């Protein structure tokens, strides 16, 4: 009797073992179905030779299984991507939640699954763009910035929050622009003391910006600059 291994070779299929579902890991269900579909012909041939056709899932149901795997693929991709990263991924949460809620399906069975998943996610991710922590971290990611938001008002609110926070952290006078050397002298040396206070005020206005102005300018310059490639590390920006 031919072994499953020989059937895989004959059918030119990858020599993979089947995967068993584990209740505590949802990904195992995805991997089980994916591997089953991959090895369907080898499984069918083996069961036929064993006279156990009763164990076969009807071919017409494979279409539904393929749709289910297609629907679950984005979730598996997100899990794998986040688990493999070596840096904080909080800036991806808003964008990922938006992408996951755009599930589409063509079959009746998988359409019901897609609708259920989207309904649950909408409840779970409700108000996520309003989170100060998530919105600011997303805006400061050079790969995403405002493009990650579905709500423009939430994005602008996040920008204002960051400017406010940055204003506290940036001491006035640390950032300087157009620092001309201000030296105002009177034609009459004896009048220097008279103009000293005004000259000092002019010098301060010409060379210093307040912390809020500095923060606003820096943030706006960052927001106007192009986003970097999604494959680049935002920490190296």
pLDDT in tens, 194-208: 677 777 776 666 555
| pLDDT for 211 | 61
* Separation of alpha carbons 83 and 89, rounded Å: 10
pLDDT over threshold 50, residue 117: yes
Q: Are 63 and 106 in contact (CB under 8 A)?
A: no
Residue 31: pLDDT band (50, 70, 90) is very high
CA pseudo-torsion sign 223, 229, 235, 236: negative
Q: Which residue has the higher pLDDT, 47 or 82?
A: 47
Stated pTM of the model: 0.69
The reported pLDDT for the residue numbered 146 is 95
Query: Phi and psi for 25 in degrees, rounded to 5?
Result: -130, 110
Answer whether residue 221 shows pLDDT above 70: yes
Helices (H), 50-172: 59-84, 93-100, 108-124, 132-139, 152-169
Query: So what's the pLDDT on residue 169?
Result: 62
> Considering just the CA atoms, what is the radius of gyration of the chain in Å?
31
Going by C-alpha positions, the residue among 178, 165, 160, 161 that lies closest to residue 211 is 165
How many Å separate Cα 107 from the centre of its chain?
29
The CA distance from 137 to 7, in Å, is 52
pLDDT tens digit string along 119-177?
999 999 999 999 999 999 999 999 999 999 999 999 999 999 988 888 876 555 454 44
Q: What is the mean pLDDT of residues 208-229?
A: 82
- Strand-pair partners of 22: 25
Q: What percent of the chain has pLDDT above 90? A: 46
Rounded to an integer, what distance in angstroms lies between the CA atom of residue 150 and that of residue 117?
19
């Amino acid at each position: 009797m031919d072994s499953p291994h020989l059937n895989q070779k004959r059918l030119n299929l990858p020599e993979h073992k089947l995967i068993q579902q584990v209740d505590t890991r949802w990904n195992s269900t995805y991997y089980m179905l994916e591997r089953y579909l991959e090895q369907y012909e080898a499984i069918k041939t083996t069961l036929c030779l064993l006279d156990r056709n009763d164990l076969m899932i009807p071919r017409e149901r494979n279409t539904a299984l393929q749709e289910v795997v297609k629907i679950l693929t984005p979730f598996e991709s997100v899990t794998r991507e986040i688990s493999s990263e070596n840096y904080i991924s909080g800036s991806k949460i808003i964008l990922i939640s938006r992408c996951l809620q755009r599930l589409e399906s063509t079959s009746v069975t998988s359409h019901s699954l897609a609708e259920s998943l989207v309904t649950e996610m909408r409840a779970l991710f409700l108000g996520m763009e309003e989170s100060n922590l998530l919105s600011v971290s997303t805006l400061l990611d050079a790969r995403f910035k405002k493009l990650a938001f579905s709500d423009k008002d939430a994005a602008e609110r996040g920008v204002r929050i960051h400017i406010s926070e940055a204003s506290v952290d940036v001491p006035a006078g640390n950032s300087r622009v157009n620092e001309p050397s201000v030296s105002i002298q009177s034609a009459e040396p004896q009048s220097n003391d008279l103009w000293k206070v005004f000259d000092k005020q002019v010098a301060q206005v010409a060379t210093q910006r307040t912390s809020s102005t500095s923060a606003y300018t820096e943030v706006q310059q960052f927001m106007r600059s192009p986003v970097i490639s999604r494959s680049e590390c935002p920490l190296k920006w």
